[in-house]
Chain A
Amino acid sequence: MTIRSPQNLVAGLALLAVAAVALLSTGDLGAERFYSIGPALLPRGVGTLLGILGAVFLVGSLLEQGEALGRWPLRGPLFVFLSVAAFAVSIRTVGLALAGPLVAMISGAASPDTKPKELLLFAVVVTALSVGLFRYVLNLPIPILIIPRVLVL
């Protein structure tokens, strides 16, 4: 048995996994009630269809020539993910004034072209602009700077 389309093989497996999660985790919800349908009907129905499609991809990947899986460089996704996650963690704890540059600097690590000093300067300017725009021009309730027990802006 040879794998003719690695991309579709993985795609099929991924769909099967999603289908399994959908079907297993909705097992305890009712699908049918008297004159209406229960909350689990749609997720289970869609999950089943996804499972069937997953199986089709899986079988197809063994029969039909297709695309290779390609490169999966991890540097970009890792640092972009970390930077956005860092914003989520820091926006309420330290505020935008620090969260902004933090996002920029962490995400900078995602690209080999980044020049740290240039980026830091740029990040400070971008953050200052967004503080002015979002907090003072548009009056959005976004925390600017929080130093615990000392200052909340």
Chain B
Amino acid sequence: MAATGTERDAELERLRTRVAELEAELVEQAARTERIVAAAQQRTYWLDRWHLDLDALMRRRAVGAPLDTAFRALRKLRHGVQRARRRLSGS
């Protein structure tokens, strides 16, 4: 049975609404993606400014492993100090 004019108009309206929804989703998704890229650029500013590729640097066996060990040790020490201070202050 052929659709009446009213039904066709309603279907068209429904489709237009759906397109608008999808467009809005696309914009929201684009906004989120661009925010993530911008945030990453914000974080890597000093690395980029100094042309430092940390990933490449850490992959060098002579530099990466000792640096990683040193940072882990420092982090452990810091956590230890924080724990000790919490215990001493009773918090």
The answer to whether A binds B is: no
